[in-house]
Amino acid sequence: MTLVEDTATKDNAKSAAGETLSIHGGRPLHGRVEVKGAKNLVTKAMVASLLGEAPSVLRDVPDISDVAVVRSLLEVHGVRVEEGDEPGSLRLDPRDVQSAHMEEIDAHAGASRIPILFCGPLLHQLGQAFIPDLGGCRIGDRPIDFHLDALRKFGAVVEKLPSGIRLSAPRGLRGASIHLPYPSVGATEQVLLTAVRARGVTELRNAAIEPEIMDLIAVLQKMGAIISYEPNRVILIEGVERLDGYDHRAIFDRNEAASWASAALATDGEIFVGGAKQQEMLTFLNVLRKVGGSFDIREDGILFRRGGDLRPVTVETDVHPGFMTDWQQPLIVALTQATGQSTVHETVYENRFGFAEALVKMGADITVYPHGLQGGPRRVPRRSLEQAAVINGPTALTGADITVPDLRGGYSHVIAALTADGTSTVRNVGILSRGYEKFFDKLTALGADFDVVG
C-alpha cells in the first residue's frame, strides 16, 4: 500500500466552531454533574487500538470533539469504529488498517495534538506514516522534539514536509534506551505506543507517570504488552510480536472534576461531581482545603463546596504527583475571591496565564510575571520557561465582553462570568466542546443563567 503524496497547500485554519454565550452571573452553582472518561486517556487508548490484531472496546468515552477527531483519523486509516455494547462505549476494529491520503489525514486532524501519537502504531502496522502539523491549544509553542528524537532511536526515518512529517521504518522498529529531558506526557505515550511491538527491550527514563499514563499502560498490558513500572520514573517495555484487543473502562477525567470543584468555590455553590475519585486528586484536594474549600468523598463521586471565607495560597504547577498545570486556570478564578495575596508558579508551559487578561478586564487584581518570580523557597527547580501570577483578593468581578483563548482558560472565563455580577458576553466557547462533554447541559443542571446567542 503506498502513501499518496498530496501537493495541495495546507490550510492551517483549524479554528473551533465559535459560539457566544450571554451569561448572567452572581448566582452560586448548585447541583450534580457526571464526569466520564479522561479526555487525555481516552484519545490515547483509541490510538492504541491500532496496535492490536483484534477489535477493542473502550468504555466511558466522553462525547467531545477531541474524541471525534481521533475517531475520524482512525477511520481514514481503515479502522472500523462503532458504538459498543453499552452507552458511551466504542468498538474499534483495526483489522483492515491501511494507509491514508495525506490530504484526508490533514483534513481530519483538526485542532488536536493526538495525531503525533499515530507514528509508532502506523509504523508497526504499515511501515510508514504521515503526520500533519499539529494543532492544540496555544499555551506555548508545544514542540515535538522529544517525540521525534525517540522515534529516531527506535529506527524510524523522519522527513519534514511542508505540511507535516513523513516517517518510515526501513529496518523495522527496535527497542531503545531513551532518557527524556523532561517527564513529558506526550513523549512518554509516544515511547509506550512504539516500544510495545518493537524488537527487543526499551528502557524509558524520566518518564511521565500521570494517572492517565498508568491507565494507558493498563490498556497496553490488557493487549498483551509487557511493561514494568520501576522506581524513579523508569519504565521498561519488552517488545512482543503481536497484540490483541482490549476491553477497558477509562479512568475518570480529573481535570474536568477539578474544574467543577473550582466553580463551586468561585461561585460559593455546592457541586457533586459523579465519577470523581480521591486517589487521582489528592494534591488538588489538599490545595482546595488550604484555599478554604471543603469536600466529601463518597462512593460515587465527590461533593465540593466553599467551607467559609477563601484564603490565599502559593501553588507551583508540576508533573504528577504535583499540582497539574491544567488545574491552575480554574483555581485562579476562585483565588480572585480569596482574602489576601496568592501566587501561582507555572512551571510546565511558557504561556498559560493568557486567560488572566479577561479576568482583569472583569475587575480581578492579577499580575502576570512572564519570567517568573525570583526568591522564596521553591519546591520545583526553576525551568527557563517558568511564569508566575500574583492574585490579590477579594475583588468584585463585573460582567464583560471576553473571548475564550484555549480549553482550560476558556472554562475559567465561563466560571468568572458566572461569578461576576451582571452580564458577560463570552465568545468562542465552541472550543470547550473539545474537552467538556455536554457543557451547556451541565451548566443548566447547576442552575447557571445563560443564553446561547451566537
Residues at the contact surface with ligand EPZ, assessed by CB under 6 A: 39-40, 113, 137, 140, 142-147, 182, 184-187, 208, 255, 325-326, 348-349, 407-408, 435
Q: Catalytic site residue 137?
A: yes
- Shortest Cβ distance from residue 242 to ligand EPZ (Å)? 27
- Which residue's CB is nearer to ligand EPZ, number 60 or number 103? 60
- Which residue's CB is nearer to ligand EPZ, number 38 or number 126? 38
Say how far apart CA 220 and CA 241 lie, in whole Å. 13
- Which residue's CB is nearer to ligand EPZ, number 43 or number 163? 43
- Shortest Cβ distance from residue 396 to ligand EPZ (Å)? 29
- Which residue's CB is nearer to ligand EPZ, number 60 or number 326? 326
- Shortest Cβ distance from residue 187 to ligand EPZ (Å)? 5
- Shortest Cβ distance from residue 35 to ligand EPZ (Å)? 13
- Shortest Cβ distance from residue 210 to ligand EPZ (Å)? 6
- Given the residues 3, 70, 137, 220, select the one marked as catalytic: 137
- Which residue's CB is nearer to ligand EPZ, number 103 or number 326? 326
Give the active site residues: 137
